[in-house]
Amino acid sequence: MVQTLLIGQVAKRTGIGVGAVRLYERLKLIPAPSRSRAGYRHYPEDTVLRVQVIRAAKMLGFTLREMVQFFAGMGADGMSGAARDAILESKLQEIDGRIRSLGHMRTLLLRLKSAPGRASTRAECALAEAALNIVREMERKPVRRRGGTIK
């Protein structure tokens, strides 16, 4: 007899909420479970591993939408190395773009911090000023995104 788990058991073993398990099921990130006569979901044991893979992918920056596309592109024999590499390369480019953007914002904040300043009123707090300067500076430089440059 195959061992199955109730939704609460899957949630507890994987460290996510019951609502997240239902969401993953709705998005088809995990296979739909069998149901008892009373309507209880009975998940196969390997659902735990699948949810752990989803959690790991989220930690690597993948969105649920990207995971849906990833799993949809996987055939019975898995995914080709070329398809996998394309997905990973795209994610690496996205992360590199974020790193550049964060470095740029850090530089602007350091520049603002080191600039001689005057006492600010509540309406002119330094954080609001910094945010405005960052936005103005970023508007002057094009931001690289997937599919081209966006200004």
Position with higher pLDDT, 4 vs 107: 4
**pLDDT at position 76:** 66
Q: CATH top-level class for 4-72?
A: mainly alpha
Quick check: 13 pLDDT over 80? yes
- Using DSSP, state whether 1 is helix, strand or coil: coil
- Mean of pLDDT values over 84-102: 89
Position with higher pLDDT, 57 vs 81: 57
The model's confidence at residue 115, banded by pLDDT at 50, 70 and 90, is low
- Mean of pLDDT values over 3-28: 94
**pLDDT at position 151:** 40
Three-state DSSP string of 4-48: EECHHHHHHHHCCCHHHHHHHHHCCCCCCCEECCCCCEEEECHHH
Picking from 56, 107, 60, the residue whose alpha carbon sits closest to that of residue 87 is 60
For the chain, what percent of residues have pLDDT higher than 70?
75
**pLDDT at position 106:** 86
Quote the CA–CA distance of 8 and 48 in Å, as a whole number.
Answer: 12
What residue ranges do the domains of the chain occupy?
4-72, 81-145
